[in-house]
Amino acid sequence: MEKRCSILLVGWIILMLPNSLYAQGKMLTIDSCYKLAKQNYPLIKQHQLIVNSMNYTVENISKGNWPQARIAGQATYQSDVTSVPLPSAKPQAKDQYKLYGEISQMLYDGGTIKARTLQEKTGTAIEEQQLEVDLYKLKERINQLYFGIVLIEEQLKQSSLLSKDIQTGIDLMTAQVNNGTNYLSNLDILKAELLKVDQQKTELESGKQAFYNMLSMFTGQPINESWKLKLPAHSLPETTIHRPELLLFDYQKKNLDIQHQLIKSNTLPKVNLFVQGGIGRPALNILESDFKPYYIGGLQLNWGLAGFYTIKNEKALIKINQQKLDIQQETFLFNTTNTLKQQTEETIKYNKLLQSDEAIIQLRNKVKIAASSQLQYGTINANDYMKEVNAEDQAKQNKIIHEIQLLMAEYTIKTTSGN
């Protein structure tokens, strides 16, 4: 009996465990948001299409090494034919026919197929890296949404503390009004301030919900207030640039090198092994006037000289494109480096502000405590008390904002540098 009860108890715990975990909510980090947003973004669907396209194209290019077969035929009429000045020689017909099949095998193509294969693979790498560059921009949006929610949550916490301070004043003032030692108008002032804070909370909750909705849309997850957003730890961000654009530049330069190889291959001879067989009139013996089967085989050499006409200009164009890429990369690094310097200055500024924020809060708190005591003894009115309460609240709000701004600045540096 005891064993059965134990089994039932364990089973009940297992059944209740998922509900308990769900009630506690899920923990969400900014890195997990990056990953989810990338997986959910519609543009990611292009990745498989790019890979499939490359596979089909490379397969087609590689078939250039396969034996090639063709069937051809011709029917001609010519003004004159070969004749032999012998009485017994049968004259040739002026209408001639040929139908044949040919199989050829490429022996040497000057490296064209290899270069075209490399070009296609590099072109695919460029497309995929361009996709990574486009997806990387999602990080900026996620930073704004994630830290926007964190900031609002911290502001809501501070609003709750502000409500408590005002409620403390209301409690003191209510006792004084009931004892006839203070005016009802002073109590109304505090109640109005409490309602104002409630309105601010409503606006903050509405803004937070809007941010949650957008974050949910980007990540593809039903993110709401049951999800706990983990506040990232402060860190000294690295400013060495590792952006995906740099790899994109490398692939583009590699593609230009492959174009050099293609230009060179266009100036090299091509050698084929071939076998041809068919029927014709005449066949190989032009003195025969009847349809006869025939076959021939051997090597073919094709060497087009047109490539030599344009090779100089084509190489010059590639060099120009290489210079363009160098300038684009240099400009990108220049702009990114300057942006990182500005963002680093922002972190220095927020660190300095936070150092003074704590001192201001301590001073404002002392003044507020004194004002609370003065309000209790009736030496100041509600307006004077609220002035000090609001001053402390503003100091705390400033610290909250500066803390989140510092975190966002650090993560902005990470995003800008690619770290």
| Per-residue pLDDT tens digits for 368-394 | 889 888 888 878 888 888 888 888 888
370, part of any domain: yes
Q: Which pLDDT belongs to residue 88?
A: 67
**Residue-wise pLDDT tens digits, 12-60:** 333 343 333 333 457 888 899 999 988 888 888 777 888 888 888 888 8
Residue with tokens 């499939």: 52
Same domain, 154 and 261: yes
Rounded to the nearest integer, the mean pLDDT of the chain is 84
pTM of the model: 0.77
3 located within any domain: no
Domain membership flag for residue 138: yes
* Residues 326 and 194 both lie in one domain: yes
The pLDDT value recorded for residue 309 is 84
- Same domain for 357 and 213? yes
Task: Please report, for the domain that includes residue 395, its CATH number.
Answer: 1.20.1600.10
Establish if 12 belongs to a structural domain: no
Token readout for 56 is 């089909």
Give Cα 63 to chain centroid, integer Å: 35
Is 328 inside any structural domain?
A: yes
Instruction: Tell me whether residue 13 is in a domain.
Output: no
For residue 345, what pLDDT is reported?
92
**pLDDT tens, residue by residue, 151-161:** 888 888 888 88
Same domain for 367 and 261, yes or no, is: yes
Query: 129 and 230 share a domain?
Result: yes
Amino acid (1-letter code) at residue 68: Q
Question: Is there a single domain that holds both residue 101 and residue 161?
Answer: no
Question: Which helix or strand (DSSP H or E) is residue 115 part of?
Answer: helix 112-136
Pair 71, 214 in one domain: no
**pLDDT tens string 226-277:** 888 888 888 777 888 999 999 999 999 999 999 988 888 888 899 999 999 9
Tell me which residue has tokens 């708190």.
Answer: 365
Q: What is the DSSP string of 125-183?
A: HHHHHHHHHHHHTHHHHHHHHHHHHHHHHHHHHHHHHHHHHHHHHHHHHHHHHHHTSS-
User: Residue 148: pLDDT above 60?
Assistant: yes
Q: What is the DSSP letter of 267?
A: T
Tokens of 336: 């990114």
How does pLDDT run across 249-262, given as a tens digit for each residue?
999 999 999 998 88
Q: What is the pLDDT of residue 80?
A: 82
Half-sphere exposure of 18 (CA within 13 A, CB side): 3
Strands 27-28 and 228-229, sheet pairing: parallel
Residue 316 vs residues 47, 110, 116, 319, 327: alpha-carbon distances, Å:
33, 21, 20, 5, 17
Residue 6 has pLDDT above 60, yes or no: no
Q: What is the mean pLDDT of residues 343-365?
A: 91
CB 281 within 8 A of CB 290: yes
Q: Residue 18: inside a domain, yes or no?
A: no
The reply to whether 173 and 51 lie within a common domain is yes
In the three-class reduction of DSSP (H, G, I as helix; E, B as strand; rest coil), residue 66 is classed as coil
CA separation for the pair 242, 17 (Å, rounded): 43
Dihedral over Cα of 101, 107, 112, 113: its sign: positive
Q: How many helices (H) and strands (E) does the chain have?
A: 9, 6
| Residue 298 lies in domain | 67-79+87-108+271-302
Q: Give the pLDDT band of residue 285 (cuts 50, 70, 90).
A: confident
Average pLDDT of the residues in 197-225: 89
State percent of the chain over pLDDT 70.
93
Question: Mind listing the pLDDT tens digit for each residue in 66-118?
Answer: 888 899 999 999 888 877 777 666 777 888 999 999 999 988 888 888 888 88
How far apart are the C-alpha atoms of 89 and 94, rounded to whole Å?
15
Count structural domains, the chain.
2
Cα 156 → chain centroid? 33
Mean pLDDT of 270-291: 88
CATH number assigned to the domain comprising residue 104: 2.20.200
Residue 26's CB: how many other CB atoms inside 10 A?
A: 12
